[in-house]
């Protein structure tokens, strides 16, 4: 869901508030980011 839509629905005036409460990093994305960083460091 686009963040600005969530912001509007939640009634937040500042997008940072919305991010703080509603954005969670998905475990799969963390795993992928970890793999990319490990490969970059190993190169």
CA dist., res. 6 & res. 22, Å (int): 8
Where are any strands of DSSP class E within 1-43? none
In this prediction, residue 37 carries a pLDDT of 92
Instruction: Assess contact for 20 and 9: CB atoms under 8 A.
Output: no
Mean pLDDT of 7-32: 88
Q: Residue 13 is encoded by which pair of tokens? A: 């005036």
pTM for the structure as a whole: 0.54
- Residue the block writes with tokens 């940072």: 16
pLDDT at 5 > cutoff 80: yes
pLDDT at 25 > cutoff 80: no
Q: Residue 22 is encoded by which pair of tokens? A: 């509603």
Instruction: Assess contact for 24 and 6: CB atoms under 8 A.
Output: no
């Amino acid at each position: 869901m686009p963040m600005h839509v969530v912001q509007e629905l939640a009634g937040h005036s500042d997008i940072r508030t919305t991010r703080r409460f509603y954005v969670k990093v998905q475990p799969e994305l963390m795993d992928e980011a970890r793999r990319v960083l490990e490969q970059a460091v190993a190169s």
